[in-house]
Amino acid sequence: METLMHTDALARFGYALSDATRTQILLRLRHAPSYPADLAEAIGVSRQVLSNHLACLRGCGLVVAVPEGRRSRYDLADPRIGHALDDLIGLVLAVDPACCPDADAHACC
């Protein structure tokens, strides 16, 4: 039985993955917690851009900030998020080029 809680969680997860920067953050955090400056450098975005995306991911309930003195370390809010990402990475999709002619397009049909 699906509940509103399940659909809301899936919608938040989908929204987070709809942006390449947020996806990269989640993929990096699935291996280990990290600091914003390190994430920004690894992903190749400014600290401000990264901060905005981390705020979004926190708001969606996908990451948590763990205070460490004057800094905060970020981690996935639940280890199952990392498992879900691993499962999604393993998917093989049969894409219909007529439906999605632009491989970079995020919206199809």
Would you list the domain boundaries of the chain?
Answer: 4-89
Domain 4-89, CATH: 1.10.10.10
Report pLDDT digits (tens) over 85-100: 999 998 877 878 787 6
Residue 84 or 101, more confident:
84
Contact criterion met (CB below 8 Å) for 57 and 16: yes
**H or E segment at 74?**
strand 71-76
Q: Mean of the per-residue pLDDT values for the chain?
A: 88
| Per-residue pLDDT at 106 exceeds 70 | no
pTM of the model: 0.81
Task: For residue 86, give Cα distances in angstroms to 27, 47, 63, 74, 89.
Answer: 9, 26, 16, 19, 5
Report pLDDT digits (tens) over 54-78: 999 999 999 999 999 999 999 999 9
Give the integer Cα–Cα distance in Å for 29 and 38: 11
What residues pair up with 76 in beta bridges, in sequence order? 63
